Structure 1
């Protein structure tokens, strides 16, 4: 397809989250003039998800402040929103999709930005009881809001970032909080023991009870509503309500039904294309090549950058997508900023500036992989640039709180 044809060919984007929004907005910025349709299952225009478990849950943000753009933006950019609607089937030969309302949409390019969903507790573990909640959507928070009454007891299942953020909000609002983590420690999959230790003590200092190495056996209830969380060691924790944060699953079912390759997400190449070159994928749902393997990233930064990369591919201006992973988490008065992926590190160097400010630098042999910066924005910015440039500073230097990190960028 020639460039002129590309600019005038209809694009359908499935998923009205951060990635889907980024595709649509970038297409218009790059000069796409034809129909762009953004299909979203929720009734809301694209909005930010990270504040759901922080400011929105606390009541500090209104729903409108979550929106990535006001509704007028989509009219101005001629981006058609089909909200409260789902794509049910993809006809790859006919290049059209069928929606849940029975209508169809033709496409020259289709972008799957279907995102992800929470892992659910199964019904036989009490997951179907009233008073069991997840933190993934505006609707989830609305259901949960009335539960936050000072003095009530909440049990949080899962000691990852979502669980810890929910615990921090709950404690701030005066609830009695118990967090249960089945792994030997919190943040087991995503951070070092040093970072986990800091946040464990932070939470305990705010009255949160943390139970590590404690599996959930069963949620039990009365009259259909949860009343207790029973652990595998036999302990029974009273609960007025329960928040579950045990991970997410990419939404790949639509891609599977359409016969696309799925490998821990919808498999794409470095230009965001699936095996069907008319279909692309971006965001939480996409599994893409990174340093010799395929990975999937669950972050705002990846959703934005990969969405824009997909738009460039559609416009015939492809650039290989080279992800630079970064994440953040706000808990109490602490901000954790993460650059890189620490997965297979063999050495962690702690740079302690004060009791409330430190960074943890992850190495594999002599190569810097990632950095966790706690209340240390300068360390985060330096680390992010070093990792992007492929530079690995001397471990002794980064571990010396008196050493000027900015000099590493010279």
Structure 2
């Protein structure tokens, strides 16, 4: 059987980045920059007031105090947004609001709290030093400075800076587009009355959420029966729309394995991976209407098992880290922790086991949660971690340390 590490490398090689693209600021949030950003202008753009108050010549109020105030005539009123150029004459003051442009000649701003808030004349009750409460042009950003780096996540703060610099777009790594497809003639949509032998489809909903949580986009979540022709027809309906196709079901060793039947001619490598759950796996590239032709890159496809726990655990182990790495997102892997096991567990020899668990970070302990079988979805829905048990370990006793993946 293929090892977990080997299959991780195969999947990672298939999931690659899209070319860099320039997008509007509103569409760049959460993406990774693909190019440095240099400031086209300085910030602040002009000298401005950091307070609501009065622009003055500092020397005119050097001796002002509560007991000996200085009274100055108010020559101008400067709200934020005033665009004409003003000059402050010695021995006068301009009433000024926060963010408003400082008049030429002014060297300080006296906060309104240190005055009588006069309109025609103002009583200054505190001295001001040169530069006090003044935001100088370029003190935050100098034009030409690199302010955002390639590889940096576009956060709300980064968007705010880009907008303040007058930028309308950023060059980023686009989100990968993923088609999530469930297979199985037994599957029906929620809201449909179940007939004997039918179950509600859940894998596509679950994996689509996992894809979005990983930072990628979901193209669609179609379902196909176990008929090969229908499977191919559904798949062809999304030609050119996805960078990656994820299927669930149809990859085991029995009859009616529609994915294996459709791509068993070599386009997809179907293997057994030494893990539990999730042993049957597949990965490869397909063309628009089937196996990729010679010399054609095709579309990457990852085929996951159909049992829901196997499908989601397989996504966590193989697909999620490769998706995030291809999009340049930090920490592609889930955080790894070491914890003390609270109960005994057994694991199959020769397979890496991923057990559902509940991790208590305050106590530093972890408890296995639910049976190991791959159809027990209830337990996975309430677990906050996966215990990773190595291939050569068959028993772990309570009190021993184990490795876990933090899903919280």
Alignment TM-score, normalising by the size of structure 1: 0.24
Higher helix share: 1
Alignment TM-score, normalising by the size of structure 2: 0.25
Answer with 1 or 2: which has the greater Rg. Answer: 2
